[in-house]
Amino acid sequence: MTPLASLAEAVGPRHCLHEPEDIAAYVADWRGIRGGTPIAVLRPGSTAEVAEILRRCDAHRLAVVPAGGRTGLCGGAILPPSAPPAVILSLERLNRIRDVDARDFSIVAEAGCVVQQVQQAALEADRLFPIAWGAQGSAQIGGMLSTNAGGIRTIRWGNARDLVLGLEVVLPDGRVLDDLRRVRKDNSGYALRHLFIGAEGTLGVITAAALRLVPRLRAVETAFVAVSSPDAALALLSRVMASGAEVIGFELIKRVCLEIVARHGPHLRLPLPLDSPWYVMVELAAAHPAVPVRQMLEAALFEASEAGECTDAVLAESEAQRAAFWRIREDFPEFSRAAGPAISTDTAVPVSAVPEFLARAERALAERWPEGEMVALGHAGDGNIHLGLKAPAGVTREEWVARAGAADMVVNEIAVALGGSFSAEHGIGLSKLHVMSALKDPLAIEVMRGIKRALDPRGLMNPGKVLPPN
Ligand SMILES: Cc1cc2nc3c(=O)[nH]c(=O)nc-3n(C[C@H](O)[C@H](O)[C@H](O)COP(=O)(O)OP(=O)(O)OC[C@H]3O[C@@H](n4cnc5c(N)ncnc54)[C@H](O)[C@@H]3O)c2cc1C
């Protein structure tokens, strides 16, 4: 039997796609970057089928590239152009919520559940699944965990990793590691689940996860605030942290980003005039409706204004207005793409270092590429700033990459020098391998290689990703 026939037998012919028109959607990712062509795209419907596929791929020495919602921004779910023979394993049909336990504050979801589906199931049980970000309507639980996604709520509930109680994982040889427990405390040896979280599919395939839920929010208030500088933004952060309510979002936005929104998102109304160099979106909340969150936010903003930290502010007056504020922030990647080429980064520094990071990056970029414009926005409440260097008008992506491609290293080096990271929440995939080689501790890479060899001795799981070539 040919490898293709064997795989079709394992998953059923309807779910073993190989015609060019059937697999077209799987060979490129959200960024529009096209990868190599797999021998097939497989769409298993159960953990047992995933296990059978991995056993057969192991026997035929076929590489396996897991794919979730394909919204990853580092090329993790596409084939490298010179990949060995490989299949793309799409988890989209593993999309059942297996259990929601309100008393336990937990949910068990399969890897192909869309993040929004899990949020909705939690709400129906009067609970909150707190991870949220712009691509939540397409990204899947398996992709979220494999990239250890962050998003807008990290300041309060941490990254995806912090919400995982247990995992079900199929190992590269087809054995199923069933660690899908909801127990809160378990120190019986190594916490193996953490190996697979953030591994970008290089160690096995996540098929289901037991996730932590939190109380549903009953009072939420959101403000759009003009601040004079990143330092002023941090002063405001300290104030809202001490306000008595939970700070569940704190985004810093450079004015140029709002100018891009104004140009490319005409359906969105900007909440404040474009006369401030920086803006903050801050969201406070409480689980009990009687908590006076609005007064707490107003008091913090009043004090900030008295102290000269904020120059203008508007509070959302309705749920629709709150959602409209968030559209500005969450759809920014789309508007930015429409605005033309940019060299972008995904850095994190300690929160206190955000102002220095921004100042140093702006100076360094302006010195080498005065024709570019620094864009910056991000989850400043957790130190994660997405900084980019936008090309001048009329310059193509290819020209800009050739001219200013080194801008990412300039920014990454500054972040690392300040005790930060060159990959805060998007992972490494294919596009940050060069940064891994240059900036990651060689001993850490050596340990990672040892783990990879132990779990995937044939190197079949998502080859060419995360670990730079030897
Ligand atoms: C508009 C936009 C905004 C974004 N904002 C944020 C943000 O604020 N914060 C953030 O963290 N990210 C953000 N992202 C990035 C992206 O949404 C996340 O990385 C997301 O977690 C990827 O999920 P996915 O299902 O699309 O994964 P994919 O892109 O399909 O895959 C990502 C990686 O995970 C692996 N993988 C997928 N499923 C599995 C599985 N079941 N088992 C093993 N490996 C698997 C893939 O092989 C790949 O390496 C954004 C993306 C977009 C397009």
CATH, residue 269: 3.30.70.2190
> Are 223 and 204 part of one and the same domain?
no
Does 35 sit in the ligand 1 pocket, CB within 6 Å? no
Structure tokens at 200: 């970008």
pLDDT tens for 414-429 read 999 999 999 999 999 9
172 lines ligand 1 (CB under 6 A): no
138, 71 contact by CB (below 8 A)? yes
How many angstroms separate the alpha carbon of residue 80 from the centre of ligand 1?
A: 17
- The rounded Å distance from CA 240 to ligand 1 centre is 30
> Is the CB of residue 310 below 6 angstroms from any atom belonging to ligand 1?
no
CATH number for position 148: 3.30.465.10
From 43, 68, 90, the end of a domain falls on: 90
Ligand 1 nearest-atom number relative to CA 427: 19
pLDDT above 90: residue 33: no
Verify that 78 and 158 share a domain, yes or no.
no
Q: 60 and 162 share a domain?
A: no
Residue 381 resides in a domain: yes
Residue 58 forms part of a structural domain: yes
Q: What is the pLDDT of residue 81?
A: 80
- 250 domain residue, yes or no: yes
How confident is the model over 73-83, as a mean pLDDT? Answer: 90
C-alpha–C-alpha distance, residues 23 and 42, integer Å = 10
Cα–Cα distance for residue pair 425/200, rounded to 1 Å:
12
Pocket residue to mutate for ligand 1, from 133, 138, 200, 428, most atoms within 8 A of Cβ: 133
Is the pLDDT reported for residue 91 higher than 90? yes
Kindly report the CATH number assigned to the domain that includes residue 382: 3.30.70.2740
Q: What mean pLDDT is predicted for residues 83-94?
A: 95
The pLDDT value recorded for residue 32 is 84
Does residue 466 fall inside a structural domain? no
How far away, in angstroms, is 462 Cα from ligand 1 center?
A: 14
Residues 192 and 104 in one domain: yes
Partner residues linked to 166 by β-bridges:
210
Q: What tokens were used for 54? A: 């991995």
Average pLDDT of span 54-77 = 97
385 lines ligand 1 (CB under 6 A): no
Residues 328, 408, single domain; the answer is no
Nearest atom in ligand 1 to the alpha carbon of residue 94 is: 41
DSSP codes, 344-383: E-BEE--GGGHHHHHHHHHHHHHHH-TTSEEEEEEEGGGT
Shortest-distance atom of ligand 1 to CA 207: 41
Indicate if ligand 1 lies below 6 Å from the C-beta of 76.
yes
- What is the mean pLDDT of the segment spanning 352-367? 98
Ligand 1 site, residue 139, Cβ cutoff 6 A:
yes
Is residue 273 domain-resident? yes
Q: What CATH number is associated with residue 82?
A: 3.30.43.10
Boundary residue ending a domain (312, 333, 354): 333
Q: CA 3 to CA 211: how far, in whole Å?
A: 36
Question: Where in the sequence is the domain holding 126, given as residue range(s)?
Answer: 97-215
Domain count, the chain: 4
Q: Considering the domain boundaries, does residue 376 fall inside one?
A: yes
Share of the chain above pLDDT 70, in %: 100
**Can you tell me the distance from the alpha carbon of 169 to that of 159, in angstroms, rounded to the nearest whole number?**
20
**Is 135 a pocket residue for ligand 1 (Cβ < 6 Å)?**
yes
- pLDDT in the model for residue 30: 87
Give the end of a domain, one of 157, 188, 215.
215
Whether the pLDDT of residue 365 is over 90: the answer is yes
By CB atoms closer than 10 A (0-12, 13-18, 19+), residue 340 is middle
Nearest CA to ligand 1 atom 41: 142
Region 189-207: mean pLDDT is 97
- Is residue 470 scored above 90 in pLDDT? no
164 lines ligand 1 (CB under 6 A): no
* Residue at 31: amino acid letter: R
Q: Are residues 326 and 225 in the same domain?
A: yes
Residue 240: pLDDT over 90: yes
Residues 294 and 228 in one domain: yes
Ligand 1 site, residue 97, Cβ cutoff 6 A: no
Pocket test for ligand 1, best of 113, 146, 211, 334 (most atoms within 8 A of CB): 146
Question: What is the distance between the alpha carbons of residues 419 and 350, in angstroms, rounded to a whole number?
Answer: 7
327: pLDDT strictly greater than 90: yes
| 186 within a domain of the structure (yes/no) | yes
The three-state secondary structure class of 398 is helix
435 domain residue, yes or no: no
Query: pLDDT value at position 40?
Result: 97
pLDDT bin (cut points 50, 70, 90) of residue 343 is very high
Band of pLDDT at residue 253, cut at 50, 70 and 90: very high
* Cβ of 144 less than 6 Å from ligand 1: yes
Q: Are residues 67 and 150 in the same domain?
A: no
Instruction: Give tens-digit pLDDT for 14-25.
Output: 999 999 999 999
Q: Is the CB of 426 under 6 A from ligand 1?
A: yes
Assess whether 53 and 146 both reside in one domain.
no
In this prediction, residues 116-124 reach a mean pLDDT of 98
Residues 370 and 275 in one domain: no
Residues 412 and 382 in one domain: yes
Q: How far is the CA of 149 from the centre of ligand 1 (A)?
A: 7
Residue 197 beta carbon below 6 angstroms from any ligand 1 atom? no
Distance 147 CA to ligand 1 centre (A): 6
Chain CA centroid to CA 28, Å = 18
- Selection from 230, 260, 228 nearest residue 390 by Cα: 260
Whole-number Å distance, alpha carbon 135 to ligand 1 midpoint, is 8
Band of residue 266 on the pLDDT scale cut at 50, 70, 90: confident
Regarding whether 132 and 193 lie in a shared domain, the answer is yes
Mean pLDDT of the chain: 96
Q: What's the whole-model pTM score?
A: 0.96
